[in-house]
Chain A
Amino acid sequence: MNVSDLLMPYVGPAFVILFFGSMVVFAILGRKSAGKYLREIPAFTKLRHAVGLAVEAGTRLHVSLGRGNMISSSSASAVMGITILERVARAASISDRPPVATSGDPVVALLSQDTMRRAYRFIGADTRFDPSSAQLAGVTPFSYAAGTLSVVQDSQVSANVLVGHFGSEVALITDAAERNGVLTIAGTDDVSGQAVLYATAEETLIGEELFAGGAYLGAGSLHTASLRVQDIFRWLLVAAILGGAALKMVGIL
């Protein structure tokens, strides 16, 4: 057994511990400047405007959390969708027509219902909470798309926020939104879904921008800290890949 085989089991835990430690350090250091110095992402700027407009005009925001579930690799995008739903619901629940959430997984649907209830409690309007404002649209890709279409085509919806795990079926949803002349902001962790969204949605969140939602919507210093740590680790990965390629070229690896 060589040295790399001996070290390999410890690489994962070391990576997680380093990532965790960096997040804690940056969260403590950046408590007062959380949310500052972030580059502009047009999708989040438009989302903030859309929330304001919905409250003023008494229209509805639709947040769709995709088909991701909580027991697979797509759970992180579902959690991110729920974080964004909470921020949107807290800000827009005072509108005449409160936000509505759709999802393609029963557990995510229950969590989105819970999130909406929490948002109403936060603004002190528990009685206004309607359980049907968080809906399970369908459990297969196309049934989910078909179920979501009925919400997108509602004339009272002024913006659609699609954040979660989507495949190519998301084009049916974004196309319907565009036909209604409604703003669509969308992001997914699926590569083919991202290509489809780039072609069909008005504002697309590319790659890790999806996971920056909490920092841009003021969810706390830990969100901003995790963005900084992601940036640092991205550069480390780039250096490791280029370094590895260079070492391979000269025959060392």
Chain B
Amino acid sequence: MKLRAPFSTIVAVLSGLVVLGGYFFPQFLGEVRVTMLRWAVVMTAFALLAGVYNLLSVHIRKMQREKNAYSGILLISFVVALGFVLVSGPTGPWALWMAQYVQVPLEASMFAVLAVVLAYASARLLYRRTNLLAVVFVVTTLVVLMGMAPLYLFPEVQWMQGARNLVTQVLAVGGARGILLGVALGVVATGLRVLMGADRPYEG
């Protein structure tokens, strides 16, 4: 069923207002808010099925058009994983074996690659941006790293740990709170625009 613009907008705006009202006046709208959020969670589960269909259709098309080997591997992995879960259940031994010996090691490997990528990117930053902020970024990173990492050949450097604590517990916390306040105001503005029907991420 396709909802036309005014109707879908009215439904979205009213739902948003009720949920927002439920936070502010839980004694009146709290139950309704919880029920509507439960509906949203159930609908998200159905959206996951649509997402899986989208993922499969994209990779089937890629395999047919571009003979993409990675898409073939993804499709085979999907069928095998689905078979394992159907046979042994989502918490059965086969499914757990697959998570423990395939998914976790693969993601851990990517995490290890990420550490190298980040170290390399920090070093490259000075080539890409030759300004004061880039220098401050790299120096701060080095101070925090050296304050945390064990320096086996050197005795413990007290001032370095003090510098690390100053950066991580005072400067970084202050800066992060400033950024988060800005983000929070942006979130409020975006939410209100959705409630006013100005931002409509849905059909309408």
Contacts and interface: CB of A to CB of B under 8 A. Distances in A.
B191 A76 contact: yes
Interface stretch (A32-40, A44-52, A198-206): A198-206
Contacts of A132: 54, 57-58, 61
Nearest to B176: A191
Given A71-B40, A135-B55, A189-B187, A114 B193 contact: no
Q: What band does the interface of chain A fall in when counting residues whose beta carbon is under 8 Å from B?
A: 35 or more
B182 interface: yes
A160 interface: no
Contact of B50 (A110, A207, A227): A110
A131 B54 contact: yes
B113 A172 contact: yes
Given A106-B51, A113-B54, A168 B118 contact: yes
Contacts of A220: 198
Interface stretch (B41-49, B87-95, B153-161, B162-170): B41-49
Interface in A230-244: 230, 233-234, 237
Interface residues of B, number: 58
Contact of B186 (A76, A111, A113, A172): A76
A138 B111 CA distance: 16
B110 A146 contact: yes
Interface string A117-129: 1100000000000
A192 B37 CA distance: 28
B121 A200 contact: yes
SS of A interface (majority): helix
A123 B107 CA distance: 41
Contact of A210 (B24, B68, B186, B196): B186
Nearest to A121: B203
Contacts of A191: 176, 179-180
A9 B176 CA distance: 27
B124 to A, nearest CB: 8
Nearest to B71: A150
Given A136-B55, A189-B187, A223 B182 contact: no
Nearest to A80: B190
Interface in B94-125: 106-107, 110-111, 113-114, 117-118, 120-122, 125
A199 B198 contact: no
Nearest to B41: A71
Given A111-B202, A140-B107, A206-B179, A199 B47 contact: no
A233 B122 CA distance: 34
Given A171-B114, A172-B114, A214-B199, A71 B186 contact: no
Given A175-B121, A189-B187, A226-B193, A109 B54 contact: yes
B79 interface: no
A19 B117 contact: no
A8 to B, nearest CB: 11
A142 B192 contact: no
A72 B8 CA distance: 21
B6 interface: no
Residue with the greatest number of chain B CB neighbours at <10 A, chosen from A16, A73, A76, A80:
A76
Nearest to B187: A76
Nearest to B111: A142
Contacts of B110: 142, 145-146, 169, 172
Contacts of B137: 198-199
Interface in A67-86: 69-71, 73, 76-80, 82-83
Contacts of B50: 106, 109-110
Nearest to B190: A76
A9 B193 CA distance: 23
A109 B47 CA distance: 9
Instruction: Please provide the 6 A-B residue pairs with the shortest distance between their CB atoms, ordered closest to farther.
Output: A106-B51, A211-B186, A208-B182, A226-B189, A207-B182, A76-B187
Interface of A: 9, 12-13, 15-16, 19-20, 23, 69-71, 73, 76-80, 82-83, 105-107, 109-111, 113-115, 117-118, 131-132, 134-136, 139-140, 142-143, 145-147, 150, 168-169, 171-172, 174-175, 189, 191, 194, 196, 198-200, 202, 206-208, 210-212, 214, 219-220, 222-223, 226-227, 229-230, 233-234, 237
